[in-house]
Structure 1
């Protein structure tokens, strides 16, 4: 089982804009600005992968991705409600 990665959770929240923007942002640049040029691109890519894997069944998603916290799951649910 993967351990929860708080930095990945924060990156997903930042990438989606959850809690700071009125609509989903899906912005790699926000993640890179927060986490730097070395870690930021990989975290943004991971956020995109998680969004692609997200389903409306958050319990199933949480079981599949224990490495992210509840804030990231909430952010992905909010983001998916708006579509692409």
Structure 2
């Protein structure tokens, strides 16, 4: 049940983001985007997704290898 609730909240957040994007795009009026603008938009979105994926991969790698265990312990031993 908590997993379904979390998925629903993420889906709702995506819906709000899409709605806000469509409203903002429509508010711009009839302003055309040239080829350079489309290329910049695609490159920016691609780079952002690649960066996010790389950071998530590093986080998962660090957790699986146990590198996070030392950071959570601190100088006085493990936290409780």
> Do both share a fold (TM > 0.5)?
no
- Larger Rg over CA atoms: 2
TM-score range, shorter chain: under 0.3
* TM-score normalized by the length of structure 2: 0.27
Give the structure with the higher percent helix: 2
